[in-house]
Structure 1
Amino acid sequence: MISRRLLLGAGLAAPFVATPFLGRSEASTHGFPERTVRYVCPFPPGATNDNVSRTMSRALGPRLGVTVLVENKAGAGGAVGSRMVAEAKPDGHTLLNASAGNLTIAPHLSNVGYDPLRDLAPVALAGDAYSVVAVNPALPVHSVAELIDFGRRRPGVLNYASAGIGSAGHLRGALLADEARFEAVHVPFPGSAAAATSVVAGDCHLVIDPIAMPHVQEGRLRALATVGPDRWDAFPDLPNLAELGIGRAWPGGTWFGLFAPGTTPAPVIARLNRDFNDSLAEPEVAAALRRFGLKPEAVSPEELGRRVAADHAAIGRALRRLNIA
């Protein structure tokens, strides 16, 4: 069992500064890197995005041979930090730890100030994230079937918390209610940690997010199912929603990846991709990401770009069908 302190410690601590090696492992690429790299997390401390940012900054610093500093720039469901990176100088020294929602959901819902397919360059994928469907223990439901029945018998009473409008938790809550044919009220928060805490406190009923994992393990929330490519090894006895016949056609996924300003030179992107993927192969890094609910996966920038484009299009169609705007 993983303690909440172990899981969230990286996110709640002071911003991590990686300690560089005394010498660089190789010559710079197009003058990169030549100074501190800003690693922007577009969510508050304690969120899954924050935990992933700090894990990967610690791994990248020694490989790049410079300090890698995490900066939390939260706001507008991740759009504030994402826009800051999109508008930064495209030299590889300002990077974004994006969540799927920043690039494939939020841009459909509001004027975020950036085009995710043009203004941000895909670099590397940290991995897909599993989520847990969790409720406050006081809610009289112990399975997804009972949750659906509760929602149908009490239209508009059930609510779900998320990391904000346009977050993956927002979309998944809406998709669950739509597919299962019940009404639920969306309650947005400024980050996933705050959303999960609201369900623990009983202010909200339901959350679908990786950050619910430690609350479930410590008995503060009740898990009903998981969401992801297969069963989550942290909860081997919990069914995946797909096993229950739910969510098989849901668009997109919950992934975390590294992005740079849109016109960053290809050699810099290639260097970052190589160092990032090499970091994923380190047992300590992979283990840390799994603790945060990710399934690490090394891909090329081109593959990540295709995924973003496909998810962006599919989610746009789903949002229009759900009348979410």
Structure 2
Amino acid sequence: MISRRLLLGAGLAAPFIAHAGASSPGFPERALRYVCPFPPGATNDNVSRTMSRALAPRLGVNVIVENKAGAGGAVGSRMVAEAKPDGHVLLNASAGNLTIAPHLSHVGYDPLRDLAPVALAGEAYGLVAVNPALPVHSIAELIALGRRRPGFLNYASAGIGSAGHLRGALLADEARIEAVHVPFPGSAAAAMSVVAGDSHVIIDPIAAPHALEGRLRPLATLGPDRWDAFPDLPNLAELGIGRNWPGGTWFGLFAPGGTPAPVIARINRDFNDSLAEPEVAAALRRFGLKPEAVAPEELGRRVAADHAAIGRVLRRLNIA
């Protein structure tokens, strides 16, 4: 089991000022703006700061994180989609920004046209956790409570269209319970609402440090396998839940649509090389990610497939 210090210690410092690293001709010409579409303290923010620090020495310029939160990540995503397509403004997207939110509101960008896939940081684990005062100690008990008291339970998320929003709706649907969605401006605020007892449930990796310190009670994990931070907790799939849920909870890097292919290839190479650094991979794992290096084309196919599958589920669940 990992400690709170390890979970929070890496990637939270100010962006690294580069002192070394040669740049390729014409790119980069100046510092890069690395846009995180969520507030400080969110998982997206932690990933942004980790990867910006890793990229700076490879690119030979400063890589500066900018938090542009709002509308479940849509504000920052739109800003990048409208930026000059030269590779100097990048988006650290969560899956929800591109595969969920565009189905639910007028975000002002087409995720398949206006943003170019660059690199994947990894698939994120999720933690189903509750306020310790809630009288449940397992997923079965949570479902039983929801069935006894229809409409009583609520779940907090990082906003409308976030992965936590969809996961909560899918869990309620599969468990045949009624639960109220409570959106917040970021996962850190959502987690604190559950810690304070204002909300009951959260499904998000940001809940991990609170669970390890006893401020939240963990019930189960989501992800490709068991999360090694919680080796004794069952994965939802082991409980027969979530096996057919669409999409993943990934974090990836995107550029404005129309960014030249050589620029995308350069960033992808440096990003993937950074993922291979033990300290970078370890930091991402501490934030609940399973690092995965892929080509831009593969990330693009994943986004398109998730976008289509999630659209079908949202229509089935009548979420709009």
Same fold (TM over 0.5): yes
The corresponding residue for 1:100 is 95
The amino acid that maps onto 2:7 is L
Q: Does 1:133 align with 2:131?
A: no
Q: CA deviation at 1:4?
A: 3.7
Q: CA deviation at 1:18?
A: 1.8
Q: CA deviation at 1:7?
A: 2.8
Does the 8 Å contact 2:96/2:161 carry over to 1?
yes
The amino acid that maps onto 1:306 is R
The amino acid that maps onto 1:8 is L
Change (3 A) 1:54 1:12: closer
d(CA) in 1 for partners of 2:220, 2:211: 11
The corresponding residue for 2:194 is 199
The corresponding residue for 2:319 is 324
Give the counterpart of 1:170 among 140, 165, 169.
165
d(CA) in 1 for partners of 2:227, 2:269: 28
The amino acid that maps onto 1:264 is T
Q: Does 1:62 align with 2:60?
A: no
Q: CA deviation at 1:6?
A: 4.4
Q: CA deviation at 1:27?
A: 2.8
The corresponding residue for 1:18 is 16
d(CA) in 1 for partners of 2:319, 2:89: 32
Does the 8 Å contact 2:86/2:263 carry over to 1?
yes
Deviation by residue 1:203-237 (Cα, 9 ceiling, x = unmatched): 00000000000001000110110000111011111
Does the 8 Å contact 1:11/1:46 carry over to 2?
no
SS in structure 1 at match of 2:48: helix
d(CA) in 1 for partners of 2:277, 2:41: 23
The corresponding residue for 2:273 is 278
SS in structure 2 at match of 1:295: strand
d(CA) in 1 for partners of 2:80, 2:61: 19
d(CA) in 2 for partners of 1:223, 1:205: 12
SS in structure 2 at match of 1:316: helix
d(CA) in 2 for partners of 1:232, 1:9: 19
The corresponding residue for 1:231 is 226
The amino acid that maps onto 1:27 is S
Quick one: percent identity of the two aligned structures?
A: 87
SS in structure 1 at match of 2:251: strand
Q: CA deviation at 1:20?
A: 1.3
Deviation by residue 1:66-114 (Cα, 9 ceiling, x = unmatched): 0000000000000000000000000000000000000000000000000
Q: Does 1:245 align with 2:231?
A: no
SS in structure 2 at match of 1:256: strand
The corresponding residue for 2:256 is 261
Q: CA deviation at 1:259?
A: 0.2
SS in structure 1 at match of 2:29: coil
Does the 8 Å contact 2:12/2:50 carry over to 1?
no
The corresponding residue for 1:39 is 34
The amino acid that maps onto 2:226 is R
Deviation by residue 1:291-324 (Cα, 9 ceiling, x = unmatched): 0000000000000000000000000000000000
d(CA) in 1 for partners of 2:62, 2:3: 29
SS in structure 2 at match of 1:199: helix
The corresponding residue for 1:8 is 8
TM-score normalised to structure 1 length: 0.96
SS in structure 2 at match of 1:18: coil
Q: CA deviation at 1:19?
A: 1.8
d(CA) in 2 for partners of 1:21, 1:297: 27
**Divergent runs of 4+, >4 A:** 9-13
The corresponding residue for 1:27 is 24
d(CA) in 2 for partners of 1:106, 1:9: 30
Unaligned runs of 5+ in 2: none
d(CA) in 2 for partners of 1:180, 1:17: 43
Q: CA deviation at 1:55?
A: 0.1
Deviation by residue 1:100-132 (Cα, 9 ceiling, x = unmatched): 000000000000000000000000000000010
Deviation by residue 1:168-195 (Cα, 9 ceiling, x = unmatched): 0000000000001000000000000000
TM-score normalised to structure 2 length: 0.98
The corresponding residue for 2:115 is 120
The amino acid that maps onto 1:141 is V
SS in structure 1 at match of 2:284: helix
SS in structure 2 at match of 1:21: coil
d(CA) in 1 for partners of 2:123, 2:15: 25
d(CA) in 2 for partners of 1:163, 1:173: 11
The amino acid that maps onto 1:292 is F
Q: CA deviation at 1:3?
A: 4.3
Instruction: Kindly tell me the number of residue pairs found equivalent between the two proteins.
Output: 320
d(CA) in 2 for partners of 1:174, 1:299: 30
